[in-house]
Amino acid sequence: MGLVAKTRTTLEMIKWEHSIFALPFALTAMLLASHGTPGWRTLSWIIVAMVTARSCAMAFNRWADADLDAENPRTRSRAIPAGLLSREFVLGFTILTGLGFVLAAAELNTLTLILAPFVLVVLLGYSYTKRITRWSHLVLGLALGLAPSAAWIAVRGSLDPRILVLTAAVMLWVGGFDVLYACQDFEHDRQVGLRSVPQSFGIPAAFLVARIMHLAVFGLLVVFGYLFHFGIAGWTGIAVAGLLLAYEHAIVSPRDLRRLNAAFFTMNGVIAMTFLAFVAVDVWFRR
């Protein structure tokens, strides 16, 4: 396989376009921490840290799950099971992007560098949690939810407890949709002994769990807006995010998972970007 083709396959493997899920929340925290913009240098290294961290986590997940993916009809066309990329190449890519993340953390400040190894433990450790707990969805949520807290630390060099509310909201937002996403693998997970909320409680109960999580997300966003004294734009962003979450749940059901990918990927990106846009306007008017 040529370099261009291998690069294209690697980007497809890590779903680089889905970096849009957590990045807007990291940028939201960055804007609030800096009361505007922290400067191009800090912004650039935050973006590098986000992209390398997610790329490292996704590549490692594909490496760790290669054998499981080969057994699952939904995932057997992924790069490693399909023979498009070798496990050695993917592991090397994981190490390279992990080092890139540590470099970005070092360029931000001392605390981000100190915390970088602990972040990697969460990001990489998620890949094995489905083997031991049905609540691996929350570990995935935490992996993305760390983004706003990490961005705050990148700007301030310290942690404000208020930003943990956004971390909790993102954790439940991602965790809830991972519960729904896992419904696609209900039969496979049961056959091979992998654990998930759908596998443990059934698909209808999984939808109920996801809805409870997302109701909690809306509540946490309201608390977040109160803690940061949002104006009209910020509160509008929270309202729009809540309406879009409700819409996502309206287009899927335990009996119809056909539009799950549209809800999980397309609409989640819209929610994240919309929330960032409204908060950015809110911060701008308060400068």
pTM of the model: 0.92
Q: Is residue 4 part of a domain?
A: no
6's CB contacts (< 8 A; 6+ apart) are 85, 89
Say what the pLDDT of residue 69 is: 84
Are the C-beta atoms of residues 179 and 206 closer than 8 Å to each other? Answer: yes
pLDDT, residue 36, reads 80
Containing domain of residue 131, as a range? 17-286
From CA 249, how far away is CA 127, in angstroms rounded? 26
Answer whether residue 9 is part of any domain.
no
CA angle, 49 as apex, 47 and 55 as ends, to 5°?
Answer: 100
pLDDT of residue 209: 96
pLDDT in the model for residue 220: 98
Spatial contact of 217 and 172, defined as CB atoms under 8 Å apart: yes
Joined together, the tokens standing for residue 29 give 């925290």
151/45 Cα distance (integer angstroms): 10
Provide the pLDDT for residue 190.
83
**Residue 7, in any domain of the structure:** no
Which residues in the chain show pLDDT less than 50?
Answer: none
- CATH code, 194: 1.10.357.140
- Is 11 within the bounds of a domain? no
- Asked whether residue 103 is domain-assigned, the answer is yes
Based on the structure, what is the number of domains in the chain? 1
Task: Give a yes or no: residue 1 inside a domain.
Answer: no
- The secondary structure of the chain, three-state, reads CCHHHHHHHHHHHHCHHHHHCCHHHHHHHHHHHHCCCCCHHHHHHHHHHHHHHHHHHHHHHHHHCHHHHHHCCCCCCCCCCCCCCCHHHHHHHHHHHHHHHHHHHHHHCHHHHHHHHHHHHHHHHHHHHCCCCCCHHHHHHHHHHHHHHHHHHHHHCCCCCCHHHHHHHHHHHHHHHHHHHHHHHHHHHHHHCCCCHHHHHCHHHHHHHHHHHHHHHHHHHHHHHHHCCCCHHHHHHHHHHHHHHHHHHHCCECCECCCHHHHHHHHHHHHHHHHHHHHHHHHHHHC
Rounded to an integer, what distance in angstroms lies between the CA atom of residue 27 and that of residue 51?
A: 13
pLDDT of residue 2: 63
Residue 52 maps to a domain: yes
Query: CB within 8 A of 130, min separation 6: which ones?
Result: 136, 189, 194, 195, 196
